Structure 1
Amino acid sequence: MTRISRITIVRQRRAAAATELAVCLPLLVALCLVSVDLGRFAQAYIAVGNSARVAAERGATRAYLATTAATWEAEVRAAAEAEMTAEEGFDPTLVVIEIDVENDDHNLPRGTVRVTYPLRLVMDWPGIPRDIPLTRQVSIRRFR
C-alpha cells in the first residue's frame, strides 16, 4: 500500500474546494439577481397600488360637478404623480394615469383611477418578459 503524502492531500482539498466554488458561484449569483428583481417588483407593485389608492381617495373627498371636472381630475392626477415621485428610483414620466368617473346606483359619482408603471427587470429570465407593466386600479365613491 502506498502512502499518500501530506502535500497530495492538501492539493486534493484545494481542488475540491475550487470545484465546489465553480459549481456554486453561478447559482449564488443567480439567486442574488432573482432576489434583487423580486424586491424591485414588490416595491414597484406596492408603490403603484399606493399611488392609485391615494389618487382615488383624493377624488372621493373632493366635490365632483360638471363645472369642476377639469380641476377635480387635475387634483387626482397630481395626487397620483406626487405619490409616485415620493418613491426613489421611479421615473414619473413613465407613469400612466387613467381617470374615469361614472354615477353609481345612488347617483353619486364613482371615480376609478388606474395607474400603470413599466418595470424593467435587471436580467432576462427565461419565460418572463423583461418589461412588466404593473397596473393597479382603485374605485371609490364620493363620500364627502
Structure 2
Amino acid sequence: MTRIKRTAAAAIELAICLPLLITITIFTLDAANVQYAKITLDSAVRNGVHRGATMQFTPFTYENWRDMAEQSIREEMETMSDFESQNFQVNVEATEQNDRVTVVATATYQISTLFNWSGRGTELTLARQYEMRQVR
C-alpha cells in the first residue's frame, strides 16, 4: 500500500469513527448524569426519612418536625451542581398504627436529558419513597 493510499484510508477511518466516538461519549455523559441524579435523590430521601425517624414529635411539633425532615432532603439535593429546585417535590408524613409510628418520605425530581430515554421525551422524572419505623 502506498503512502497516499494509507493516508486516504486513515482519513476515511477518522471520518467514520470520530462521529461515532463523539456520540458514544455524549451518550455516556448523559447516562452518568441520570445515574448521579438517581443516586443523589436516593441518598437524600433515605437520609431524610432516617432523620425523621430518629426525631420525636408531638401533635404540636408535627409541622416543625415535618419541615425539618423535608429541609434535610432539600439540603442534600442542593449538593448537586445543576440542581433545579423548581423541578423538585418532597413530602414527609408520619402514620401511627398499633402504637408504632412509621415515617414515609417521598420525593420526585424532573431532569432534562439529551437523549430520549423513556420513549416519552427528554424530560425524565425520578421518584423515590422510603419508609422507616420511628425509633422511640
| Fold match by TM threshold 0.5 | yes
Q: What secondary structure, in the 3-state scheme, does the structure 1 residue paired with 2:135 have?
A: coil
Among 2, 18, 21, the residue aligned to 2:14: 21
In the alignment, the residues of structure 2 paired with residue 26 and residue 128 of structure 1 have an alpha-carbon distance, to the nearest angstrom, of 26
Checking the alignment, whether the CA contact within 8 Å between 2:50 and 2:132 is kept in structure 1 is yes
Q: Which runs of 4+ in 1 moved over 4 A?
A: none
Is residue 88 of structure 1 aligned with residue 50 of structure 2? Answer: no
After superposing the two structures, state which structure 1 stretch, 16-25 or 86-95, moved more: 86-95
- By how many angstroms is 1:126 displaced? 8.8
Count of matched residue pairs: 136
Alignment partner, residue 129 of structure 2: 137
In the alignment, the residues of structure 1 paired with residue 52 and residue 4 of structure 2 have an alpha-carbon distance, to the nearest angstrom, of 71
In the alignment, the residues of structure 1 paired with residue 52 and residue 35 of structure 2 have an alpha-carbon distance, to the nearest angstrom, of 26
AA of the residue aligned to 1:41: V
In the alignment, the residues of structure 1 paired with residue 19 and residue 117 of structure 2 have an alpha-carbon distance, to the nearest angstrom, of 15
Alignment partner, residue 11 of structure 1: 4
Q: Which structure has the greater CA radius of gyration?
A: 1
In the alignment, the residues of structure 1 paired with residue 117 and residue 92 of structure 2 have an alpha-carbon distance, to the nearest angstrom, of 33
Percent identity between the aligned chains?
26
Superposition map of 1:1-144 within 5 A: 9-104=2-97, 106-124=98-116, 127=119, 129-144=121-136
Task: Name the Cα RMSD after superposition.
Answer: 1.9
AA of the residue aligned to 2:57: Y
Gaps of 5+ in 2: none
Q: What secondary structure, in the 3-state scheme, does the structure 2 residue paired with 1:86 have?
A: coil
TM-score, structure 1 length as denominator?
Answer: 0.85
- By how many angstroms is 1:9 displaced? 1.6
AA of the residue aligned to 1:116: T
Gaps of 5+ in 1: 1-7
